[in-house]
Structure 1
Amino acid sequence: MVRPHSGQDEAMNFLASKQQLRASFIRWALFCVPLIVLLGFLAGQLGGPQTAWFQSLEKPAIYPPPAAFGIVWSVLYVMIGISLALVISAWGAHERGLAIAAFALHFLGNLAWTPVFFGMQDMQLGLWVLIFVVVSLLGVIALFWKIRRLAGLLLLPYLAWAIFATALNYQFIAENPDGGARDAGSGAVERIEL
């Protein structure tokens, strides 16, 4: 004889109710989104386009208006934080720990680009950092997609921007084969042609 399932039996089959899962996601989102935005902001303080070195560079035709970068990165960092919160709140999901670790490693690359490109004024190394960012982001998207499809989807605009940034970095190298006039910190730029 088959016994009918009671509501209590069904509840025991779930680790958490939908409300508990939603609350967990909201808590993680309230932590992850500000954290990602803050880390992006702090990395941005380690160098920027206001340096005399960057101002002296020839700008590629695909270089967008400078105001676009702050807007795009702000939106992307919010989306990245939500994506991460979706994965972190997926308790018991297969490969959740691996996905979080892969994201952390990837995001270190993201944060490294500004100090490398603007701070160290090294466009070549900046390009390699961005190649790492794109390749590792593909792995992160695949892992996030397995856990929560929405988490992977939220990273697709970030992937598009990272690919664009890589192409832009490459164009800066092509337009400035000499690497630009190095900024020694004085704010003065001197070009000498022989």
Structure 2
Amino acid sequence: MLTLFLTFLAATIAAGSTGMLFKPGPWYDELVKPDWTPPKWAFPVIWSVLYLLMSYAAARVALRPGAGQALAFWALQIALNTLWTPVFFGARRMAQGMVVIAALWLAVLATGWAFWRIDWLSGLIVLPYLAWVTVAAGLNWRIWRDNRG
């Protein structure tokens, strides 16, 4: 299980590394953001915890029979997770970022559902990720809405 966990963790680290390549910077700092925007320090902390949880859940599911579709959903969500940062911060395309994060939300929901059917604990472990992507999607939408000019 350790090798599986480390493999999934490597995938999440690769996804998270886009945050180092496409930093928010002054452009993001100057945008109008809602009052409920989490503080800057919270993002790397929360994502680190979520990446550990996602990797553990995926490793648990990977050991079970019939995990193919569940792991395909996991692969889809990590691909979309990887894509969002370059779209939103790199290209500064808030509307396209909203499309990506909406697709990500659906992929995380599908992952959680598929994991639940195989291993209920792994399904539960995905719930904080779904909650955080919900917050991130709301933040993306509000920033897009409030900064259209």
TM over 0.5: yes
| TM-score normalised by L of structure 1 | 0.73
The Cα of 1:27 is off from its aligned counterpart by: 2.8
Structure 2: any 5+ residue segments left out of the alignment?
none
Q: Is the 8 Å Cα contact of residues 8 and 55 (structure 2) preserved in structure 1?
A: yes
CA RMSD of aligned residues (A): 1.3
Quote the offset at 1:97 in angstroms. Answer: 1.0
Alignment of 1:43-192 (within 5 A): 43-50=18-25, 52-90=26-64, 93-94=65-66, 96-178=67-149
Q: Distance in 2 between matches of 1:30 and 1:105?
A: 18
Q: How many residues align?
A: 149
Cα distance in 2 for residues equivalent to 1:171 and 1:133: 17
Superposition deviation, residue 174 in structure 1: 2.0
Q: In 2, are the aligned partners of 1:36 and 1:78 still within 8 Å (CA)?
A: no
| 5+ long unaligned stretches in structure 1 | 1-24, 179-194
Question: 1:41 and 2:41 equivalent?
Answer: no
Is the contact made by 1:37 and 1:74 (CA closer than 8 Å) also made in structure 2? no
Instruction: Report the Cα distance in structure 1 between the residues aligned to 2:11 and 2:57, rounded to whole angstroms.
Output: 11
Cα drift, residue 28 of structure 1: 1.4
Q: Does 1:29 align with 2:18?
A: no
Q: Deviations over 1:24-44 (max 9, x none)?
A: x233123322x1342133221
Identity %: 35
* Cα pair 1:60 1:171 within 8 Å, conserved: yes
Q: CA deviation at 1:67?
A: 0.4
Q: Deviation string for 1:9-30 (max 9, x for gaps)?
A: xxxxxxxxxxxxxxxx233123
* Residue 15 of structure 1: aligned partner: none
Q: Are the counterparts in 2 of residues 145 and 151 from structure 1 also a CA contact under 8 Å?
A: yes
Structure 1 residue 150, shift from structure 2 partner? 1.1
Q: 2: distance between equivalents of 1:55 and 1:30?
A: 34
Give the whole-Å Cα distance in 2 for the aligned partners of 1:128 and 1:166.
9
Q: Which has the higher helix share?
A: 2
Bigger Rg over Cα: 1
Contact 1:130–1:162 (CA under 8 A) maintained in structure 2: yes
Cα displacement string for residues 116-147 of structure 1 (whole angstroms, at most 9, x for unaligned residues): 00000011011111100111111111111111
